[in-house]
Amino acid sequence: MHLSAIATWLHFGISHCHFGTFLEGSVFFSGAVPMNFGEAYRDTCSVVGIAAREDNHKVLEKLIKQGRRINIADNRGWMPTHEAAYSDAHKSLRLLIKAGNSSSYLNSKTFEGQTALHLAASRGNVRSSEILLKAGAQVNETTNELETPLFLAVGSGNTDTVNLLIEHGANVNGSHSLCGWNSLHQAAFQGATDIMKTLLEKGANKEFQDDYGITPLFISAQYGKCECLTVLVAHGADVNCQAKDKATPLFIASQEGHVQCVEVLLSSGADPNLYCNEEEWQLPIHAAAQMGRTTILEKLIPITNRICDTGIGKVSPVYSAVLGDQEDCLKILLREGYSPNAQECMMFGYTSPLSTAIARVSPNMAYVLLESKAFVSGSDYSSCLRQGHMCLFHALLKQGCPLPSEKHLEEFIQLTLHEDSRYKEWLPHLLLAGFNPLHLLSDRWIQSVSYDVLNFILGFTDWKRLPTAVKNSLSYRAESSTWVQDKYYDSLPGLAHLCRLKIRVLLKSERLRTDKYIRQLPLPSCLHDFLLYSDAL
């Protein structure tokens, strides 16, 4: 997930999880006795507060005449005015304001810093909001989370309450929340198109950025609020704005899969080739590929600069599809000409898309790449052994690419030492594909593998003409352990076996990856089987 997405999630997830709301109805335990705080509120609320909450204005009037206090707060810091405003108990609210007869009482705050006007606005209670404003409630007061009544009114979705607050001087610009969101951000998040239009008409800054550099248009694109996006575009909002982490609205809409928003952005001049991170490699096409947004991906492919495919310092979207394990997106990219052999991606530690698929245990993605003639390196064989992907190991051999050698050979041999117990799953396939058995017959390998493995691999050699070092290692193993060689190793290799070795050397490994070429040789089928080591297998 992009940092911009995380930032807006944090805003909504944290700043909207108010303490009072969280406790309402929750059950906490003290010893073995459950306590329901939904009931606790009622028990700790004064009788005046209960009357205000229920808008029982006749009882409330009697209580006030009896001299009952109207400024007793409950365990949330709520006074009777807060109860009346929240419940839109406007008759009771008038009585309390008149009895309180002070600005400090009118604008008193809960433990969360909410005034009665905040609570009325958050519920979209127009009549209570109007009463409070006429009585002198502070229209731009903020809560502990820096929320204004206007910001909360936008969240309620009540256009009348929003208009009322603006008429009484509510500030439509400036940040109205802890992370810097203003009312236009909130309207975009809520998808409140009419409220957005009102705010824009009243002079709201359409390019206002929160603490993360996110504008209201970005919010619209991120949450798929296409109508709000269209309104902002019509008012001239920048479709190529970038958050502090360089993400663009097109990038975030592509990531989240909002097809209509992507269409609006592209038709309004959004740049699909504007890099969306500091390293200047990530584009909207990468987001679509990694998140499996096939429809969006198909829209972006024709208009995205292909330098991202193989360019030095760039990252092919093929990598993004593989990293996201998005098979359909990978097939689309390959079908449209993106290379299965993209540039090295060392910022992620991968040398090719195929090595990425193998390392991330995505065999299906690897098979798709192999079908598109992805290059196989020696390290890929090692990765298959390491991951235990024996079927994929066989598929790599059939691809006809170079077998482990040179810089990858030592790593591969070390891995085989840990896989000798499963040798039947990989060693026959490796040797039949033309791998030189002498590569494995190092001293350490001879002394470490099981007897069965050792006897098996010798069947693929001219055991009477082995290098001196190999013979010495085999003799030492025989003398220092209970290893017993198969009896026929005491005799000379048969002429048929020597011919088999010679023919296989002449054919070379590229023709030995499958049995197809050998089966086509003008020989009896029994000789085909012999060349394919049916006797040993």
As given in the structure block, the two tokens for residue 446 are 């001879």
Instruction: Round to whole Å and give the CA distance between 536 and 417.
Output: 22
The pLDDT tens digits for 358-377 are: 988 788 999 999 999 998 88
* CA nearest to 359, candidates 323, 375, 383, 390: 383
Place of tokens 């209570």: 128
Domains delineated in the chain: 44-145 (1.25.40.20)
Contact 183, 174 (CB under 8 A): no
Q: What one-character DSSP code corresponds to residue 8?
A: H
As a dihedral over the C-alpha atoms of residue 166, residue 172, residue 178, residue 179, rounded to 10 degrees, the angle is 150
- Yes or no: say if 290 and 320 are a contact pair by the CB < 8 Å rule: yes
Instruction: Give yes or no for a contact between 440 and 413, defined as CB atoms under 8 angstroms apart.
Output: yes
**Which residue type sits at 321?**
A
CB-based contact 243:4 (threshold 8 Å) = yes
| Alpha carbon distance 268, 239 (integer Å) | 7
Three-class secondary structure of residue 148 per DSSP: coil
- Measured distance CA(282)–CA(296) in Å, rounded: 16
Q: Positive or negative, the Cα torsion across 142, 146, 150, 155? A: negative
Give the SS3 label for residue 30.
Answer: strand
Of 262, 188, 267, give the one whose Cα is nearest residue 223.
Answer: 188
Q: Show the tokens assigned to 527.
A: 């000789």
Quick: pLDDT tens for 74-92: 989 999 999 999 999 999 9
Residue type, 257: G
Q: Amino acid identity of 380?
A: D
- The predicted structure's pLDDT at residue 425: 93
Among 386, 396, 336, 344, which residue's Cα sits nearest to residue 366? 396
The two tokens of residue 175 are: 């940040």
3-state secondary structure of 492: coil
Which segments of 462-507 are extended strands (E)?
A: none
> What is the pairing mode between strands 27-30 and 33-36?
antiparallel
d(CA 74, CA 242): 45
| pLDDT of the residue at 537 | 83
* Mean pLDDT, each 10-residue run in order, the chain (537 residues): 50 35 28 38 77 93 94 93 96 95 94 97 97 97 96 96 97 90 96 97 95 97 98 98 97 98 98 95 97 98 93 93 96 97 86 91 90 89 89 86 82 89 92 93 93 93 94 92 84 92 91 90 93 89
pLDDT value of residue 490: 82
User: What DSSP string runs through 176-206?
Assistant: -STTS--HHHHHHHHT-HHHHHHHHHTT--T
CA 503 from centre of chain: 53
Side chain identity, residue 103 = S
The pLDDT value recorded for residue 1 is: 53
pTM of the full predicted structure?
0.82
Residue in this structure with the two tokens 């330098």, named with its chain if needed? 307
